[in-house]
Structure 1
Amino acid sequence: MTSLVVPPGWPAAVRPPDAPRWEVTAESWLLDLSPPEYRSYPTLRRHVVLLARFAVLHVEAMQAACQQGLSQARGELRHVAPPDVVDEAVQTWLTEDARLSAVRREVGLVEDALRGTRYRARL
């Protein structure tokens, strides 16, 4: 019997590749992290690997927006908020950037698995 293995960073809400109905859990998870409009596109609902690609690009766009917000925070916000609030905003951007990095890894792993990549346990 083959053991079902997932790499570090695999999303907890998605069953391991080749587990019963794992693609259903992948689709549900991908839809939850994508814009709500994605649910209305039949092609994305029929082809979960396409949904994964769309989700990767969506997360990458959020990462880019986060990076832009972080790079502009001090210059843009210093006129509308006190320095301590600007510092809090910068910390929020940094926290969000870290979260999005983890999500990008997760969605990338799911996309790879939907494309056929399988993982083996290493000693």
Structure 2
Amino acid sequence: GTSDWELTATEFLLDCCPADYRRYRLLRRHPVVLAMFATVFVEAQVAASRDGLAGVRVGLADFVEPEVIGEAVEVWSQQQAWLARLRREVGMVTEALRGRQFIRRL
């Protein structure tokens, strides 16, 4: 069976993935498989946000005011920070599902 923490981990990982991943029984039954899917998806989001930030100024220069571009840059920056945290969290859950034990530090 699956322990309570694995059920919580599964829900967390599903929340990190596209909604349609929930329809696959395999991903619910095997959290370590889901962790791999979540890792790949989050890494793709990290790459997409990096590309978005790199191209936002040139891509929007002819269409919106400079202050709007500045705001768009800020949104991309916030997204990148959030994704960096999410990447770490998914990584820790993945390692735990693979058997790594963490020691709490003060």
Interval of TM-score (by shorter of Structure 1 and Structure 2): over 0.9
Correspondence for 1:85: 68
Query: Which of 87, 90, 96 is matched with 1:113 structurally?
Result: 96
Q: In the aligned structure 2, how far is the partner of 1:77 from the partner of 1:104?
A: 28
Name the one with the larger helix percent. 2
Q: In the aligned structure 2, how far is the partner of 1:105 from the partner of 1:93?
A: 18
Unaligned runs of 5+ in 1: 1-19
Aligned pair 1:28/2:49, yes or no?
A: no
TM-score (norm 1): 0.81
Larger RCO, structures 1/2 (Cα 8 Å, 6+ apart): 1
TM-score (norm 2): 0.93
User: How do residues 1-123 of structure 1 correspond to structure 2 at under 5 angstroms?
Assistant: 21-122=4-105
RMSD (Å) for aligned C-alpha atoms: 1.1
Structure 1 residue 43 displacement after superposition = 1.3
Identity of aligned residues (%): 47
| Residue identity opposite 1:79 in structure 2 | D
Structure 1 residue 122 displacement after superposition = 4.3
Unaligned runs of 5+ in 2: none
Shift >2 Å, 4+ stretches: none
Q: In the aligned structure 1, how far is the partner of 2:104 from the partner of 2:51?
A: 38
Q: Map Cα deviations across residues 16-72 of structure 1 (whole Å, 9 max, x no partner).
A: xxxx61001000111112111111112111100010110011111011110000000
Number of residues of Structure 1 aligned to a counterpart in Structure 2? 104
